[in-house]
């Protein structure tokens, strides 16, 4: 009995152990399966893309961003691609533009793997398993090629001025190419644009010079406006001060006038009282004398009143004169302000011409550096021709002005002389009004020195060192010898003054002698010496 019970207990204990071991194995298998499948569940962080390839349907790989997926063992495998942006430096140099000018465009491009399903598939096909450096090299080659292509379609002016168009073309072309390998363009930074010939620098210098010139012109205009405003304010201040001074002087003169009138009234009242006192004092003895004295005092009172009225009129005249002086000062201030404004305008115009000349000089330098030698020589010849023509025009204008001034001065002098002579002749005719024949006679006398001078000129050029006359002493015609004939013939060749006066109808004064008709003298029989 005891043995049977022991065997039964032993069987029960073995079965329990077997159950426990089975349960433990089952739990271990379940745990292993859970851990195995848990290890095959791959989660995708936000900065990565999960790529599962193998048995994945129609596509070669499936890409997931965020969440998690089971990766079937043996049939599937997985890998991650980073979404971190890649900064790529593009040291582009010597890119040929549309107008055959080589430019340097150092820039920085920022790219990264896109989350777009199509682009993620492209990245999984072309970039999976590559390092960051390898991806950068591929993207750099693509960007360099597209950047050169964009520059080749644009001129240097379009690249420099229309940056928006340039950036738009770069974004479009580069984005299309990098999308083919699964990348997207995040940012483009063009650090600088230069060229080997310095053309862009020259354009920038020209633009800077034009901006500086415009700024200087605007500053000059503002200064002119400020000067005009200041002159207007000064003029208004001067006018206002003059008006206040005039009102003050007018008030002072009115007060002085009232004071003088009051004093005159008090004096008149005092005189009247004095007269009345004297009249009452002397009325008993001399009424008539008192009336005479009263009349005299009234006359003195009237005189003083008239004097006060005259002084008041004088004060009014002074006030009027002061007002006219103030008005004249205001007009003078306006004239000075207008002159100052004109001077400022002339100065601004002169500065503008200077700026224009500086701008032309900068353009000439640019043309000298960029244009062909033939164009430079042509421009130089044109400038020299224009300068020569302008110099000749100015010299001709100066000579014409000098000649005109000379003739104007001579004409003015001749006019003054003629006016003076006319006035003298007018006075001469007026003085000889009683005897009109005297005036022509005096005028003839005035011209005698000139007539005699003209007679002398008839023989002044005769050069006679010595005259020898051989005279035989015999009488000639009319009883004259040869010497007398020679001298009379020489004198007779000169015009006679009296004959000229006679032809003019003028009687010379007796002081000049007169022509007397007489008979020829009796021939002399004596010898000639």
What's the rounded Cα separation, in Å, for the pair 479 and 485?
10
Antiparallel, parallel or unpaired: β 41-43 and 68-70: antiparallel
**Structure token pair of residue 372:** 């062909």
> What are the E-state strand segments in 162-240?
183-190, 194-195
What's the rounded Cα separation, in Å, for the pair 238 and 232?
10
What's the rounded Cα separation, in Å, for the pair 460 and 490?
13
Contact criterion met (CB below 8 Å) for 136 and 146: no
**DSSP summary character for residue 478:** G
What pLDDT score does 110 carry? 92
What's the rounded Cα separation, in Å, for the pair 38 and 41?
5
Q: Each residue's pLDDT tens digit in the chain (529 positions)?
A: 444 444 445 555 667 787 888 788 888 888 777 776 666 778 788 788 888 887 766 677 888 887 777 777 777 778 888 888 989 988 888 888 888 888 888 999 999 888 888 888 888 888 888 888 888 888 899 998 888 988 888 888 888 778 888 888 888 899 888 888 889 888 988 888 888 777 777 776 777 777 788 787 888 788 878 888 888 888 888 888 888 887 888 888 888 887 888 887 787 787 877 777 776 767 667 676 767 777 778 888 888 888 878 777 777 777 777 777 777 777 777 887 787 788 788 778 878 888 888 887 777 777 666 665 667 677 778 888 888 888 888 888 888 888 888 888 888 888 888 788 778 777 777 777 666 666 667 666 676 677 777 766 666 666 655 566 555 555 555 555 555 565 555 555 545 656 666 655 656 555 555 555 544 544 444 444 3
What pLDDT score does 463 carry? 62
What pLDDT score does 109 carry? 92
Over residues 386-434, the pLDDT tens digits come to 888 888 888 888 888 888 888 888 888 888 887 887 787 777 777 776 6
- For the chain, give every domain's residue range: 41-81, 84-197, 250-368, 434-455+495-511
What pLDDT score does 214 carry? 79
Residue 202, number of CB atoms within 10 A of its CB: 16
Distances (CA, A) of 443 to 339, 455, 496: 56, 18, 17
What pLDDT score does 481 carry? 59
The pTM of this model reads 0.36
Over residues 242-270, the pLDDT tens digits come to 888 878 888 888 888 878 888 877 877 87
**DSSP summary character for residue 116:** S
Tell me how long the chain is.
529
What's the rounded Cα separation, in Å, for the pair 13 and 3?
16
Superfamily of domain 84-197: Band 7 domain (3.30.479.30)
What's the rounded Cα separation, in Å, for the pair 294 and 301?
10
What pLDDT score does 497 carry? 59
What's the rounded Cα separation, in Å, for the pair 529 and 523?
15
- Residue 124's nearest CA partner among 83, 86, 85, 81 is 81
């Amino acid at each position: 009995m005891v043995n049977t019970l022991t065997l039964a207990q032993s069987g029960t204990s073995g079965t329990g152990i077997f159950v426990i071991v089975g349960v433990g194995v089952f739990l271990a298998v379940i745990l292993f399966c859970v851990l195995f499948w848990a290890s095959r569940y791959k989660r995708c962080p936000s900065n990565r893309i999960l790529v599962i390839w193998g048995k994945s349907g129609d596509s070669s790989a499936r890409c997931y961003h965020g969440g998690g997926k089971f990766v079937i063992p043996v049939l599937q495998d997985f890998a991650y691609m980073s979404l971190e942006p890649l900064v790529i430096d593009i040291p582009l140099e010597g890119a040929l533009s549309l107008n055959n000018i080589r430019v340097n465009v150092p820039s920085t491009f920022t790219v990264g793997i896109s989350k777009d399903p199509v682009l993620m598939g492209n990245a999984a096909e072309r970039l999976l398993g590559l390092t960051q450096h390898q991806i950068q090299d591929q993207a750099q080659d693509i960007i360099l090629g597209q950047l050169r292509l964009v520059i080749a379609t644009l001129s240097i002016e379009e690249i420099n001025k229309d940056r928006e168009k340039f950036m738009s073309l770069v974004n479009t072309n580069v984005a299309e190419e990098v999308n083919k390998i699964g990348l997207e363009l995040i940012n483009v930074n063009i650090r600088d644009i230069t060229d080997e010939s310095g053309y862009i620098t020259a354009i920038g210098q020209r633009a800077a010079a034009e901006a500086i010139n415009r700024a200087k012109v605007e500053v000059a205009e503002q200064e002119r406006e400020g000067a005009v405003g200041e002159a207007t304010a000064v003029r208004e201040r001067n006018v206002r001060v003059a008006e206040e001074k005039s009102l003050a002087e007018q008030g002072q003169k009115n007060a002085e006038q009232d004071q003088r009138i009051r004093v005159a009234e008090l004096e008149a009242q005092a005189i009247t009282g004095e007269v009345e006192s004297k009249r009452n004092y002397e009325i008993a003895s001399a009424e008539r004398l008192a009336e005479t004295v009263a009349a005299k005092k009234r006359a003195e009172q009237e005189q003083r009143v008239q004097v006060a009225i005259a002084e008041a009129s004088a004060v009014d005249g002074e006030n009027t004169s002061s007002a006219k002086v103030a008005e004249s000062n205001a007009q003078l201030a306006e004239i000075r302000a207008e002159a100052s404004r004109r001077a400022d305008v002339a100065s601004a115009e002169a500065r503008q011409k200077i700026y224009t000349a500086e701008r032309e000089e900068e353009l000439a330098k640019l043309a000298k550096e960029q244009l062909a030698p033939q164009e430079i020589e042509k421009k130089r010849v044109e400038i020299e021709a224009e300068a020569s023509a302008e110099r000749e025009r100015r010299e001709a204008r100066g000579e014409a002005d000098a000649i005109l001034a000379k003739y104007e001065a001579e004409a003015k002098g001749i006019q003054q002389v003629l006016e003076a002579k006319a006035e003298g002749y007018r006075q001469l005719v007026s003085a000889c009004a009683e005897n009109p024949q005297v005036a022509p006679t005096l005028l003839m006398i005035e011209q005698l020195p000139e007539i005699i001078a003209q007679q002398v000129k008839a023989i002044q050029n005769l050069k006679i060192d010595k005259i020898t006359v051989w005279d035989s002493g015999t009488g000639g015609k009319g009883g004259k010898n040869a010497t007398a004939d020679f001298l009379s013939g020489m004198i007779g060749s000169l015009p006679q003054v009296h004959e000229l006066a006679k032809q003019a109808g003028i009687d010379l004064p007796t002081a000049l002698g007169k022509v007397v008709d007489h008979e020829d003298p009796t021939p002399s029989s004596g010898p000639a010496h």
